[in-house]
């Protein structure tokens, strides 16, 4: 038995070093010495034990080295993810990528998720209101990057997970107008999907849950961290121009008119290095609301006119802006915050009272300040994201 114990310890050690062959070789070598002086039954027992331990540890080794695990890489300054990342599998992500780009997911086979979430626009589309199979939606498409760090989805935050979100646009009458049961029949007829689902899931079945998980897993892998601002955060302080740095300072500074400290206070809401917030707010776009935002979902009067605070990463390529795409340019957005805040009961308390002028009701930035904030926003574009192969259309 002590031999077996030593053998197990040795085996774990070598397996850990990934030199399984050497480990087995050494065992056989030691064993050949021991076997010399043994009686026949003892020899048999030792051999059986050896074969069993080998099988046992070989299987542990194979399980622990699951080739299908997706390695999720992101910068440490993003902080911990909110959604679970330990379940990501390469085969599921691959399936999700096909589904995301497949127009056959819509009722009349003309629209895919990627029609409204196009890679070259950081997974948004250039229309104010996105076009689905039955005309225009009521809202502007949202950029799909770094979604693992979000705890709510849609402008009104009505979905809490991406798995929950994924089946909504497929069934939505305007967006993709697809009946899920018919979709299962359709996908079952396509050999590519039979193969991909079988590879991705143990039960090998094409189900609604599996469709949702696969699309969600693909979306989770879309990490955007290749902008010049990321290089700056990684320590290269010279990568931003003086104007961009000035814009960043204004972006993160709360103005104080009495002391003359100038700022724009954007990071009160567009916070952290992801430039978003796990929160809903009213940023003063309207006094009366055509779209009630979160209020429509929660039925709480205080939530009328509140929307999810979006991330500003890649903002230069995701025009037009806001939940209804009302602003075509970043100049228009900055003019809104500078002197266009509208009062309403739910307007964020940060806004109407944050000003560079005493008694001001908006920021009152000057044109050079607006220019430098826009310069900073332009440094948030991750060009590598816009054509990265692993997020692109797999049918091309």
Selected range binding ligand HEC among 8-16, 142-150, 179-187, 380-388, rule: CB under 6 A: 142-150
Contact 278, 82 (CB under 8 A): yes
Q: Which one among 50, 95, 128, 144 touches ligand HEC, defined by CB under 6 A?
A: 144
- Token pair 């402008």: residue: 155
Residue 265 engages ligand HEC in binding (rule: CB under 6 A) = yes
Closest by alpha carbon to 379, among 224, 222, 223, 232? 232
CA atoms of 355 and 364, how far apart (whole Å): 6
CA atoms of 236 and 229, how far apart (whole Å): 9
Tell me the closest approach of the beta carbon of residue 188 to ligand HEC, in angstroms: 18
- Counting residues that bind ligand HEC (by CB under 6 A) gives 52
Q: Which one among 11, 228, 246, 270 touches ligand HEC, defined by CB under 6 A?
A: 270
Burial class for 355, CB neighbours closer than 10 Å (0-12, 13-18, 19+)? buried
Selected range binding ligand HEC among 32-40, 109-117, 197-205, 296-304, rule: CB under 6 A: 109-117
Q: Which one among 183, 200, 373, 380 touches ligand HEC, defined by CB under 6 A?
A: 373
Count of residues making up the chain: 396
User: Which x/- pattern over 175-214 shows residues binding ligand HEC (rule: CB under 6 A)?
Assistant: xx--------------------------------------
Residues 228-247 that bind ligand HEC (CB under 6 A): none
Contact 113, 122 (CB under 8 A): no
Residue 378 engages ligand HEC in binding (rule: CB under 6 A) = no
Nearest-5° Cα angle at 270, 264 to 274: 135
Residue 93 engages ligand HEC in binding (rule: CB under 6 A) = no
Residue 141 engages ligand HEC in binding (rule: CB under 6 A) = yes
Nearer to ligand HEC, 57 or 153 (CB): 153
Alpha helix (H) ranges present in 152-264?
162-171, 180-188, 191-200, 208-220, 228-233, 242-252
Q: Which one among 94, 115, 178, 227 touches ligand HEC, defined by CB under 6 A?
A: 115
**Phi-psi label, residue 325: left if phi above 0, alpha if psi -120 to 50, beta otherwise:** left
Residue 169 engages ligand HEC in binding (rule: CB under 6 A) = yes
Contact 167, 318 (CB under 8 A): no
Residue 122 engages ligand HEC in binding (rule: CB under 6 A) = no
CA atoms of 163 and 140, how far apart (whole Å): 21
Residue 292 engages ligand HEC in binding (rule: CB under 6 A) = no
Q: Which one among 50, 91, 101, 132 touches ligand HEC, defined by CB under 6 A?
A: 132
Cβ-based neighbour number of residue 31 at 10 Å:
16
Selected range binding ligand HEC among 19-27, 43-51, 164-172, 197-205, rule: CB under 6 A: 164-172
Cβ-based neighbour number of residue 343 at 10 Å:
11
Q: Which one among 14, 98, 149, 155 touches ligand HEC, defined by CB under 6 A?
A: 155
**C-alpha distances in angstroms, 44 versus 1, 3, 41, 284, 346?**
14, 14, 5, 82, 81
H or E element in which residue 134 lies: none
Nearer to ligand HEC, 89 or 342 (CB): 342
Tell me the closest approach of the beta carbon of residue 357 to ligand HEC, in angstroms: 15
- For ligand HEC, the binding residues (CB under 6 A) are 111, 113, 115-117, 130, 132, 137, 139-142, 144, 147, 150, 153-155, 162, 165-166, 169-170, 175-176, 215, 219, 264-266, 268-270, 281, 283, 285, 307, 309-310, 312, 315, 318, 321-323, 333-334, 337, 348, 350-351, 373
């Amino acid at each position: 038995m002590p031999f077996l114990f030593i053998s197990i310890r040795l085996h774990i050690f070598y397996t850990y070093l990934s030199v399984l062959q050497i480990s087995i070789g050494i065992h056989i070598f030691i064993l050949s010495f021991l076997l010399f002086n043994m009686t026949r039954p003892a020899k048999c027992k030792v051999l059986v034990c050896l074969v069993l331990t080998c099988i046992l540890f070989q299987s542990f080794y194979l399980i622990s080295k699951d080739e299908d695990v997706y390695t999720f890489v992101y910068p440490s300054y993003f902080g911990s993810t909110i959604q679970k990342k330990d379940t990501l599998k390469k085969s599921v992500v691959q399936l999700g990528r096909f589904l995301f780009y497949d127009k056959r997911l819509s009722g009349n086979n003309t629209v895919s998720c990627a029609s409204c979430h196009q890679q070259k626009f950081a997974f948004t589309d250039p229309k104010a209101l996105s076009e689905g199979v039955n005309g225009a939606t009521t809202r502007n498409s949202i950029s799909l990057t770094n979604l693992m760090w979000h705890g709510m989805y849609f402008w009104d935050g009505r979905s809490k997970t991406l798995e929950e979100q994924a089946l909504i646009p497929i069934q939505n009458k305007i967006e993709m107008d697809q009946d899920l049961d018919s979709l299962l029949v359709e996908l079952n007829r396509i050999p590519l999907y039979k193969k991909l689902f079988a590879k991705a899931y143990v039960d090998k079945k094409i189900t609604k849950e599996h469709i949702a998980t696969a699309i969600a897993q693909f979306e989770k892998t879309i990490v955007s961290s290749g902008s010049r601002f990321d290089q700056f955060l990684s320590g290269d302080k010279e990568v931003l121009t003086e104007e961009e740095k000035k814009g960043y300072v204004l972006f993160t500074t709360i103005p104080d008119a009495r002391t003359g400290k100038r700022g724009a206070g954007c990071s009160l809401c567009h916070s952290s290095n992801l430039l978003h917030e796990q929160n809903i707010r009213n940023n003063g776009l309207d006094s009366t609301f055509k779209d009630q935002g979160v209020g429509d979902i929660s039925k709480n009067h205080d939530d009328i006119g509140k929307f999810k605070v979006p991330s500003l990463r890649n903002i230069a390529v995701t025009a037009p802006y806001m939940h209804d795409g009302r602003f075509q340019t970043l100049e228009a957005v900055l003019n809104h915050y500078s002197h266009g805040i509208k009062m309403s009961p739910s307007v964020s308390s940060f806004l109407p009272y944050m000003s560079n002028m005493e008694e001001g009701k908006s920021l009152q930035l000057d044109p050079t300040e607006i220019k430098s904030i826009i310069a900073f926003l332009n440094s948030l574009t991750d060009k590598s994201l816009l054509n990265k192969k692993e997020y692109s259309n797999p049918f091309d």
